Amino acid sequence: MLKTKTKTETRYKGTPNPFLCKSGFYVTELHMGDDGLEMTVDLAGPFKTLDRAREVFKSKVINDEFLNEWNFGIRGPKDITGSIWYAGKERPSE
């Protein structure tokens, strides 16, 4: 009987580079450092639409009395300005 060694690789899923994500919206916790944005941690996602991501942002972040909403954001595909960051709340209509 021939014995073969099987190599088991452990893969750790880390937080992906936010600038390389091409689709989906994520509710993201922002860790700010002295020089700006240091690290991001995804709280929820991916969501197909920005509206759905905002609903989850409201339920998980805004309605939680222990979380500060300015420490969280929504990231997604680049918009026309080239930014990947979106506001958690919709702007009021004028």
Structural domain range at position 31 = 20-86
Considering the domain boundaries, does residue 62 fall inside one? Answer: yes
Considering the domain boundaries, does residue 94 fall inside one? Answer: no
Considering the domain boundaries, does residue 9 fall inside one? Answer: no
Considering the domain boundaries, does residue 42 fall inside one? Answer: yes
pTM value is 0.69
Of residues 89 and 81, the one with the higher pLDDT is 81
Q: Among 7-11, 13-17, 30-34, 87-91, name the most confident range.
A: 30-34
Q: What pLDDT sits at residue 20?
A: 67
Residue 5 is classified by DSSP as P
- Asked whether the predicted pLDDT for residue 55 surpasses 90, the reply is yes
Q: How many domains does the chain have?
A: 1
The rounded percent of the chain whose pLDDT value lies above 90 is: 17
pLDDT in tens, 17-46: 666 677 889 998 888 777 777 777 888 888
Dig out the tokens for 56 from the structure: 């989850």
Please tell me the distance from the alpha carbon of residue 25 to that of residue 27, in angstroms, as a whole number.
Answer: 7
Which one, of 58, 64, 57, lies nearest residue 43 by Cα? Answer: 57
